[in-house]
Structure 1
Amino acid sequence: MLKVQEIRELIKLVDQSNLDEFVYEFDDCKIKMKKHKTETVAVSVPQISTQAVDLAPQATAVEAAAVKQEVEEVKEAPAPEVKESSTTENLHKITSPMVGTFYEASSPDAEPYVKVGSKVSTDSIVCIVEAMKLFNEIEAEVKGEIVEILVKNGQLVEYGQPLFLVKPE
């Protein structure tokens, strides 16, 4: 049976793809997702309709309710805002190379890798993105100074989502 985090990942992948409908079946588990895109000029978040049908026999009502709640939270999550202005044009964006959870430090009681004003080099570790229980260290890729941290500790991040703004040296 799929875990809630795996279902979240599936929802994100389907949402980012050109697929309009996705069906996953394995043993006694079936998940069906459909996207309904609206034709508007303004930026909008596609609506995702998901159904979990015939959950595995060992699944309890509590687990089914938790999955439903998680799916509703993902559907209701606002689209991430990217700050764009003329002052950010000359700044380098450090982006997430994958979908996962952003962590600013190696452990909850450790100091963050970087803060606003920190100097970084091309191989400086700036954060960790955890994806499917693997902790991936993200490097700065540029020499400069951290100007802004665009995400919060523990926040889910998307592929290509800007994490930091760096003023290159």
Structure 2
Amino acid sequence: MDYKEIIKLMKEMNDSDLTKLKIEENNVVIEMEKQNNDVSVTKEKPSLEKTDVETKEVNLDDDDIEIVTAPIVGTFYSAPSPDKEDYVKVGSKVEKGDVLCIVEAMKIMNEIESEVSGEVVEILCANDDSVEYGQELFKIKTS
């Protein structure tokens, strides 16, 4: 079972009434469980000051902007670890294949790579934000 099939299963499970799923294939076991919509689960976090997301005003045509979206539901991390520098900042030059961030899902760290070369003009998430599938993460000026 490949990555895309697992993501498809996650989406289908999210849209269904299933709460638990276990699949065994070729010595690989995949188990998924979601909380009942009637139950509220909260994770307490220490109180943090609100930090603004860094932006840079640029006069652009929409044709010059590539939007990078979250391929999965998870937690957005701007750096490989808390003590490391962010992968990119507003104004950073990126090449196709450069890592922009990490989205953690089910304890798996998924590196999100740039599909284009260009300049990061807007970062739309803050570190440790929860992100949804398809949510916009970055705007990259391509020309």
Using structure 1 for the length normalisation, give the TM-score.
0.54
Unaligned runs of 5+ in 1: 1-9, 34-49, 52-67, 72-85
Query: What is the RMSD of the two structures over their aligned residues, measured on CA atoms?
Result: 2.6
The answer as to 2:129 corresponding to 1:158 is no
What is the CA–CA distance in structure 2 between the aligned matches of 1:110 and 1:158, rounded to whole Å? 25
Higher helix share: 1
The answer as to 2:42 corresponding to 1:70 is yes
Deviation of 1:88 after TM superposition, in Å, equals: 6.4
- Secondary structure at the aligned position of 1:101 is classed as strand
Partner residue in 2 for 1:123: 97
Higher-Rg member (1/2): 1
Deviation of 1:134 after TM superposition, in Å, equals: 0.6
Unaligned runs of 5+ in 2: 1-9, 22-34, 44-58
What is the CA–CA distance in structure 1 between the aligned matches of 2:127 and 2:79, rounded to whole Å? 8
The answer as to 2:84 corresponding to 1:110 is yes
Runs of 4+ more than 3 Å apart: 23-26
**Distance change (3 Å), C-alpha of 1:69 and 1:136:** closer
Paired residue type of 1:147: V
Q: Is the 8 A contact 1:119 1:145 kept in 2?
A: yes
What is the CA–CA distance in structure 2 between the aligned matches of 1:130 and 1:112, rounded to whole Å? 15
Aligned length: 103
Deviation of 1:69 after TM superposition, in Å, equals: 4.9
Larger RCO of the pair (alpha carbons < 8 Å, separation 6+): 2
Partner residue in 2 for 1:43: none
Equivalent positions of 1:133-152 (< 5 A) are 133-152=107-126
% identity of equivalent residues: 47
Equivalent positions of 1:9-24 (< 5 A) are 14=14, 17=15, 19=16, 22=17, 24=19
Using structure 2 for the length normalisation, give the TM-score.
0.63
